[in-house]
Structure 1
Amino acid sequence: MNQAQQLADRAEEVRRPRIGPDALAGGERVRVHPQLVSSPQAVELLAEWLLAPARSKPVIVISIASGHAEAWIDASRLAAEIGDRAEIYLIPTGKASWALADRLPARTEVYGGAGRLYPVGTDWMLDPCRAPLRFAWAATGGPRATDALLDDVLTLAPVDRPERTQPSSPAQVVASVTQPGLTGSDQAAASTDAVHEFPTDPAAELSKLQLLVRAVRREKDLLGTRLEETETELTAVEADRDRQRERCGKVDQRRRELEKELKAVRARSVPDGLDQDAFCDPGEQFRHDAYLAWVRRIPKSEKATRPLAPYVIGPDFLPSLNTIEGMDRAKVVDVVVEVLTGFRSPGRDLHQLRVDSGGNSRAVVRADGAVCWRVALQKGSPAARRLHFWRSGQAVELSRVVVHDDMTP
């Protein structure tokens, strides 16, 4: 046979799916190493083998994450530590893994770098929790998932279990257990008995218990690691929360500083002495002050939609403004501009004046149909100032500046 033919035969051997129990060669067991399942034929054979009720060994299927050439779960380590207690297959995430998922019961698929142990029998088909999926979302999670799969296998397949006859698989036919002097039917019955025969060897039971203890210890270590990770994440979250609180405190402090600066700028925007010297008539002076406040407070983009509504200065308004103490005239002017433009500042408590304090009391209405309204100039004390004004349609008449407890329109 020439070298080219040998290479061709070797390539054909690699392409041929080897799904099922170990082959027997020369009377000795040859352990099947982790095999890659990627072709449609190999996927079909693997699905049939996983669903075979007579399968006598657990099967581990490890997925390779999309875009990666190697699995994060260490298949070589599993093969070395498990020996021939289970079969191991690798499958790429993509067409192959989805094709396998289509042939398996719901919630028993494997993909995205995770691995799953499929026990013998059919119970796992009805209860997917019997075939737990071990996640590895990145290379760093590979060792943990490898340990979990190792524990799964050693729990289901303890050491020193006597050899049992393997059934035929979809990919290959294994030599049957033969006994001299038995007919074909008797030999089949003997093989079935061998499959279901479970020896009561104390050493094997002790080994099984030791493996269970090892699995519990591994789970304890895993939970301890997860607890440490959770505590680390919680500490990071708390630190971030403290940083956010500190940042919010700085932002709030800056807001208060800007409000003070804005107030100072507004105070400087009206020349000193303007309130006293611009007009001889007090009514014209107040209208002038109100117009300047409107120009200052209403943005140019809103002046067309927020004009000063028509208003009248009532006979008691200017005297009350001049005689009441503890009230800044500029503050009264600003609130009047808010009333005339419909601008709403927080805390103004705008409402109709009632004839008394009863819950269903009617509003104060003049003979001409105008309704008396009340708006806060100050807050926080019985002496806090209020502005009373009459409204009839869009027209406004400024009535009086009063203290909080004065309910006279």
Structure 2
Amino acid sequence: MGVQTITGPRRAEELAEELNRPGRLRPTVVVTMARGAQRPYIDAGRLATELDGLADVYLICEPAASWAFSRGMPEMTQVYGGAGRVYPTGLEWVRDLRRSRLRFAYSEAEGTATTERLLGDGLRAADAAGLLTVRAAVPDRGPATEVKGTVGGCPNPSQAMVMLEDGGYATIQVGLLCPGVASDRLFERGMEVHGVHDERSRRLDVSGMRTSPGERMAEVVDGEVLLGRVESVGESACEIALLPGFPSFLSRARVTGDLTDDLRDLMSVGEVVPVRVGAGGTSLSMVDVDDDVPVRSLAVLPGGPGWLAPVEPPAASGSGRSETPDLSGPATVPLPAPVPNVRAPGPSYLLPRPTPSTLAGRAVQVLERPVRKTALRSALLAVEEERSAKRLALVEKARLEEELRSSTLEMQHLEAELARRIGLLDARDRELERLRRRNRKGAQRDHREMLSSEDLFADAEDRFRFDVTVCWARRIPAGEKTGRPLSAYRLGPRFLASIEGTPGVDRAKVVDVAMEVLTGLAGTSAGRQMHALRTGLGGNDQPVRRDDGATCFRVALQRNTPQARRLHFWKWAEEIEFSRVVLHDDYEP
């Protein structure tokens, strides 16, 4: 349908009335122009193109129309001054302002980012109204064919460009494929894609490439650590999605060993966290997931990038105190220069006494004729009344202009104050996320300390075996213990001394990896890099073997660390003997 322009107060009032009726079938996007701007900072044309059939897009381009629209809308739901807003179907957005967020754009540069936010808002509103499903079921409006192509790049978060095999090009509307996920988290340059091509709109529908979450989860290796996004969090449970729209439930015991922890102090909705996953995604756990363990994110589409990127924790300040400004203080936002007081000019200023005109000259001549004095007085009286009406109109105009300038100044102040508070809230959100990360790491550390067995055994081997058993009991789910028992093992004569004698490695890490070796998890984890120790550094050199037939294996305790520590162990038949903890360059069994 394109952009519908609102150019008068009456049409703006009608739009407000339409939005306040509950029977709308599609969301509505309203974009305004900033005072003095030649065109809107927000790209209303692009919104209309990409939301075609999903939302109605309106552009209010006159101040009078903007004021009329604001007067007709409920408090805190207006849009003005170059900003934009998406109004979902129904009227729930009147009570819950989070459903219809006001998106500001103070310049053309900000307009691009704001357009992207409004596009995301519009797609989410369309999805909530069931329009994405309906659209997928409607036959294409233009000729469509099955084609193949290669992704050339992602010009913005909502689109991917594709070079087709025949030399043409097409665009993928990411919001229709996977709402809420940016294009560069679904596609990357050189990725091969296929789908239905609408030749008229040049759009490529690749929804047929998307496999079910179950198929993607089937690729997961038992014990692998993946990135997940926190979808919801309560006091004792949370939901984490390893794929968009596919959340899994985690109880408190799967997140922290302290059953008194409030999970809301450890994580926040939208945060990206590492999660250890069982084969096929059957079980998730955040306990005993260390920072040095390699992680990856599942791809939504075959051949695509992981849909989540690891988020580096915000750097703490040197003093350890929050840098978040105080919201209670007065605003320090620079305001526009005050508008000088405009006085309504007096009659002599507005209408200076003209020089005698032709009409006045004729009037003087008529005055000399007594027979026409009455008609002349009537004419002069009418002219004076007209002048008086003009003077009053000009005075009223000046008053209204001053009122408009004053209201505009106040609106600019309110917008600046709102932007300041939004910035402060964003800063507090970042600080809260940093504190939650620190709390979560502290909970995991406290959990390890709580399980310390240092004072429970006089014999070092008894203590190590106890620690391995406790680690197995806590990390292996109850339903999987039968399939993952601890193999028979013994400790070599130098093993326990090597733990104490090798600096830079945590004893709890050695216990964890030993448990993984005994249950077979280490052999399936890419991060453990388990392989046979060879007689030389060449790939074709023979493995190191003992006279009794045992083969020496090497498994990573650390990664991406100078002289990353390794664990050596002997394996034969169904038994294991732990040999030594060594530095990376130590190849002695």
> Could you state the TM-score of these two structures normalised by the residue count of structure 2?
0.29
Higher strand content, 1 or 2: 2
Higher helix content, 1 or 2: 1
Structure with greater Cα Rg: 1
Higher relative contact order (CA 8 A, sep 6+): 1
